[in-house]
Structure 1
Amino acid sequence: MRDDSAPRTRQLRVYEHRGHTVLELLGEIDLVAAAEIGPALDLVTRRAGARIVLDLRQVEFFDCSGLRLVYRARARVLEHGGRLHLVCTHPMTLRVFRVTGLSRLLPPYPTPDAALAGAEAASGTL
């Protein structure tokens, strides 16, 4: 199901999955893509109590602009009392998260279902 309150861009698809808004980033996430994605990401992450899954599995290239998007999304979601889960499988993108320490703040999961199961296990709601 598509969330029409968030505009679609060439690098962002938004849909609902198990009560969470999934933000699926696509293709190359560089400075130009980040400028296009940023407003849509801000719209979704400013909602009070937002439950977000950020899915990077379809990302082919990810630079510091993408890292800034993820960090900003995490900060905004937490600021508004929500939760953000990261899905990422690309080895180079995972390396960027490890090197910068962001993987300690936002542990990556291989699928949206795994991210949600990990969150349920951590909160004791299984």
Structure 2
Amino acid sequence: MRNGTETLTPHLHVHRDRGHTVLEFHGEIDIIAALEIVPFLDAATGRPGAQVVLDLRHIEFFDCSGLRLLHRARLRVLDRGGRLRLVCTHPLALRIFQVTGLDALLPPLPTLDEALGQSEATSGSV
């Protein structure tokens, strides 16, 4: 069940759903947006055993600053024994993930339902 969404910055909305913290990225994820997002990303990924979903379905632009956010989130969650899942359908972002190899470490999923119901064996926990 989904709880209320909290808008933390123009680029980040957060809500709880089925025991996961879902961070929805919005608009252009560049260096300015990343600076706004980092404190909230760190709070969500800093808890032991955190179950986090990064939802990129609402982005319009995604650069290397966004990649750093995803990499940071992945390391923080895995270091604390949690799980991180990624939802993305943006063609350019998917291409960037493929070229950089991030898609092998954090496989993008097409829907939030799929990320929330995904088994631990395929949750980017490698």
TM-score normalised per structure 1:
0.89
Runs of 4+ in structure 1 off by over 4 angstroms are 120-123
Give the number of aligned pairs.
121
Aligned to 1:91: 91
Aligned to 2:60: 60
The Cα of 1:118 is off from its aligned counterpart by 3.0
- 2:86 partner letter: L
Instruction: Point out the more displaced range, 48-57 or 114-123.
Output: 114-123
Distance 1:29 1:122 in 2: 26
Q: CA RMSD in A?
A: 1.8
Distance 2:121 2:71 in 1: 24
Distance 2:79 2:63 in 1: 25
Distance 2:121 2:102 in 1: 21
- 2:29 partner letter: I
- 1:33 partner letter: A
1:42 is the counterpart of 2:52: no
Does the residue aligned with 1:47 lie in a helix, a strand or coil? coil
Distance 2:37 2:49 in 1: 21
TM-score normalised per structure 2:
0.89
Q: 1:116 to 1:104 in 2, by over 3 A?
A: same
The Cα of 1:102 is off from its aligned counterpart by 0.4
- For residues 67-106 of structure 1, the aligned pairs below 5 Å read 67-106=67-106
Contact kept in structure 1, 2:5 and 2:13, CA below 8 Å: no
1:30 is the counterpart of 2:16: no
Does the residue aligned with 1:94 lie in a helix, a strand or coil? helix
Instruction: Point out the more displaced range, 25-34 or 112-121.
Output: 112-121
1:13-46: CA deviation from partner (whole Å, max 9, x where unpaired): 0001111110000000000000000111001100
Aligned to 1:21: 21
Structure 1: gaps spanning 5 or more residues = none
The Cα of 1:121 is off from its aligned counterpart by 6.9
The Cα of 1:2 is off from its aligned counterpart by 3.6
Distance 1:32 1:62 in 2: 12
Does the residue aligned with 2:14 lie in a helix, a strand or coil? strand
